[in-house]
Amino acid sequence: MTQEKTRANTEAVHALLRADVLGGVHQPGERLKFASLCERYGASVSVIREALTRLVEQGLVESEPKIGFKVRSVSIDDLRDLTATRIDIETIALAYAIERGGVDWEADMVGAHHKLERTPMLTTDGPPRISDEWEDAHGRFHIALLDGCGSPRLLDIACSLRDAAEFYRRWSQTRDTGRDVACEHREILEATLARDSETAVERLRQHYQRTAEILETALTA
Amino acid sequence: MTQEKTRANTEAVHALLRADVLGGVHQPGERLKFASLCERYGASVSVIREALTRLVEQGLVESEPKIGFKVRSVSIDDLRDLTATRIDIETIALAYAIERGGVDWEADMVGAHHKLERTPMLTTDGPPRISDEWEDAHGRFHIALLDGCGSPRLLDIACSLRDAAEFYRRWSQTRDTGRDVACEHREILEATLARDSETAVERLRQHYQRTAEILETALTA
DNA sequence: AAGCAAGAGATTTTCGAATATTTCTAGAAT
DNA sequence: ATTCTAGAAATATTCGAAAATCTCTTGCTT
């Protein structure tokens, strides 16, 4: 009786399906058939279809009319393009934030960073993998960094690119080869608070570049 | 018997509805009710809903769950944000294109520009307004400029921002106060072909800035 | 043996009705 | 007069089945 929700509205199914795609429950390239999805999410064709349609528009799922839907497939080329684009966009946003951000922005940023530092990165039960809580805190920190930029449109783009990146991230689970991610975050925050745009941007760039390199080796292996 | 399509598939309805929203048939802020949309596009609730869902995800329509859909509303603030973001994004893309674009890119660009120059800007029948053909050629030229950038993701973002801008554009119909748009295009092309990144980017920036200013006065008036 | 055609099965797409929710209206109570 | 509430109307959401389409198999022809 724990999950007896009589309301299976689209919003919820969309969130669920999205989480499953992002989390790798459905593999990239995998076909998403209505029959099995309806069963899995306990919803009707209509609501599954709406959820899929939205995911297509968000770039997480692909659709061929009359043929069906499938999870978007991954490639090295796309990963490189994504990384480069992400760096370009976030670089601009961070610079704006440093230029325009007020004290509220600073406060949120510091808060998000604090939470990130206090959240254990790896799970302790079972084989060590990056915990969902950490992923969440990590995302929030990076968004908090940009949040002072004052441009809803730019922020929105950054978020959607972050989602796309999440898609790749699960491959690199625990492959952090002697990398001090926490330190990188601390240094980015430090330069940002000091309003040192040059340094902050450069550190952010390296942060993403390193992640991408790890992902790339994981993807080729 | 000219339009007796028995197939009202989603793709078509989506395109139609999108064109109508972009073209101002449905005013910003206007509610989009299923009943009237079903009648207008001769389709069932399902396909209307899918089209609307997609438009929401594309940022052209807003949705409040259980309440309904409405055309996205416009504002000066959003126009400014949009313009600034567009300049930032296209600036990057153009710089990349100039840096990396090959001869095919050049050819497409020159071709698109030629077509733009040969397409009459204003309609001759009825009150003069900007013709759909010109709008189309105009969009294609600007996309052709960026197409050499080599980044599908960046190009995609640029296109979606262009759609958003289209949304505002219909207000400024024929308000071109002594502005030589054709000349601006020619100069942008010229600098781009000369691989003079600085100049090209600056001209593109001014091109958009001017458009935005005209739009802004039209919006406040 | 290769290629083609027909048909069965699987799957997506569309429909119209049933259901759930919100919004409007009118009347009663304060 | 104003606020509140019940009911009616309008509207969005969800469902399950019918229709359309694609895919795969099987048997036939060359």
Q: Which of residues 61-90 of B touch strand C (CB under 7 A)?
A: 66-67
Query: Residue A102 pLDDT > 50, yes or no?
Result: yes
Q: pLDDT digits over A122-145, tens only?
A: 888 888 888 889 999 999 999 999
Q: Look at residue A184 in the predicted model and tell me its pLDDT.
A: 96
A85:B49 CB<8 A: no
Q: Supply B186's token pair.
A: 């020619």
In percent, how much of chain A has pLDDT > 90? 78
Residues in chain B: 221
Q: Look at residue A167 in the predicted model and tell me its pLDDT.
A: 86
Distance of alpha carbon B98 from alpha carbon B196, whole angstroms: 8
Query: Residue A151 pLDDT > 70, yes or no?
Result: yes
Pair B191, B199: CB distance under 8 Å: yes
| B217 vs B79, residue with greater confidence | B79
Cβ contacts (< 8 Å) between A151 and chain B: which residues?
81, 84-85
Specify the nucleotide whose C1' lies closest to residue A35 (CA).
C11
Q: Look at residue A128 in the predicted model and tell me its pLDDT.
A: 80
Distance of alpha carbon B29 from alpha carbon B16, whole angstroms: 19
Residue B56's identity, in one-letter code, is V
Q: What is the mean pLDDT of chain B?
A: 92
Which nucleotides in chain D lie closer than 7 A to a protein CB? Answer: 11-17, 20-23
B84:A58 CB<8 A: no
Give the 3-state DSSP-derived string for chain A, with helices as H, strands as E and coil as C: CCCCCCCCCHHHHHHHHHHHHHHCCCCCCCEECHHHHHHHHCCCHHHHHHHHHHHHHCCCEEEECCCEEEECCCCHHHHHHHHHHHHHHHHHHHHHHHHHCCHHHHHHHHHHHHHHHHCCCECCCCCCCECHHHHHHHHHHHHHHHHHHCCHHHHHHHHHHHHHHHHHHHHHCCCCCCCCHHHHHHHHHHHHHCCCHHHHHHHHHHHHHHHHHHHHHHHHC
In sequence order, what are the residues at sequence separation of 6 or more whose Cβ sits closer than 8 angstroms to the Cβ of residue A108?
A: A144, A147
B65:A9 CB<8 A: yes
Query: Residue B2 pLDDT > 90, yes or no?
Result: no
Selecting from A84, A89, A153 the residue whose C-beta is nearest the C-beta of B82 gives A153
Q: Using alpha carbons only, give the angle B130, B132, B133 rounded to the nearest 5 degrees.
A: 105
Distance from CA(A55) to C1'(C17), angstroms, rounded? 28
Segment B25-31 mean pLDDT: 95
B186 at interface of A, judged by CB pairs closer than 8 A: no
- In this structure, the number of other CB atoms found within 10 A of the CB of residue B86 comes to 22
Segment B55-71 mean pLDDT: 97
Which nucleotides in chain C lie closer than 7 A to a protein CB? Answer: 11-17, 21-23
Footprint of strand D on the protein (CB under 7 A): A 7-10, 43-47, 50, 66-67; B 7, 31-35, 45-46, 49, 63, 65-69
Q: Look at residue A4 in the predicted model and tell me its pLDDT.
A: 37
pLDDT band per the 50, 70, 90 thresholds, residue A170 = confident
> Taking a contact as any Cβ pair under 8 Å apart, which residues of chain B between 39 and 78 contact chain A?
46, 49-50, 53-54, 56-58, 65, 78
Q: Supply A71's token pair.
A: 């999870």
A151:B50 CB<8 A: no
Q: Look at residue B217 in the predicted model and tell me its pLDDT.
A: 87
Q: Among A157, A196, A219, which residue's Cα sits nearest to residue B161?
A: A157
Q: pLDDT digits over B133-177, tens only?
A: 999 999 999 999 999 999 999 999 999 999 999 988 877 665 556
Query: Residue A54 pLDDT > 80, yes or no?
Result: yes
Query: Structural domains in chain B?
Result: 10-71 (1.10.10.10), 76-220 (1.20.120.530)
**Sign of the four-CA dihedral A123, A124, A127, A128:** positive
Pair A146, A97: CB distance under 8 Å: yes
pLDDT band per the 50, 70, 90 thresholds, residue A1 = very low
- When mean pLDDT is compared across A210-219, B10-19, B49-58, the lowest value belongs to A210-219
Task: Output the CA–CA distances (angstroms, integers) from residue B57 to A51, A65, A91, B87, in the order listed.
Answer: 11, 18, 25, 22
Distance of alpha carbon B211 from alpha carbon B123, whole angstroms: 20
Sole residue written with tokens 């600036």: B91
Q: Look at residue A175 in the predicted model and tell me its pLDDT.
A: 59
Distance of alpha carbon B27 from alpha carbon A172, whole angstroms: 47
Distance of alpha carbon B100 from alpha carbon B147, whole angstroms: 10
Q: What is the mean pLDDT of chain A?
A: 92
Q: Supply A51's token pair.
A: 């959820």
Chain A's closest residue to B161, CA to CA, is A153
Selecting from B49, B58, B78 the residue whose C-beta is nearest the C-beta of A57 gives B58
Query: What are A32's strand-pairing partners?
Result: A69
| A113 vs B174, residue with greater confidence | A113
Q: pLDDT digits over B76-114, tens only?
A: 999 999 999 999 999 999 999 999 999 999 999 999 999
Q: Look at residue B197 in the predicted model and tell me its pLDDT.
A: 98
Q: Among B145, B189, B139, which residue's Cα sits nearest to residue B162?
A: B139
> Taking a contact as any Cβ pair under 8 Å apart, which residues of chain B between 80 and 139 contact chain A?
81-82, 84-85, 88-89, 92
Q: Supply A15's token pair.
A: 């969130």
Q: Look at residue B200 in the predicted model and tell me its pLDDT.
A: 98
pLDDT band per the 50, 70, 90 thresholds, residue B128 = confident
Q: Look at residue B6 in the predicted model and tell me its pLDDT.
A: 43
Residue A99's identity, in one-letter code, is E
B88:A49 CB<8 A: no
Q: Which helix (H) or strand (E) holds B31?
A: strand B31-32
A153 at interface of B, judged by CB pairs closer than 8 A: yes
Burial of A127 (0-12, 13-18, 19+ CB in 10 A): exposed
Choosing among A11, A47, A53, A54, which should be mutated to test the B contact, i.e. which has the most B CBs within 10 A?
A53
pLDDT band per the 50, 70, 90 thresholds, residue A8 = low
Q: Look at residue A148 in the predicted model and tell me its pLDDT.
A: 97
B9 at interface of A, judged by CB pairs closer than 8 A: yes
Q: pLDDT digits over A180-190, tens only?
A: 899 999 999 99
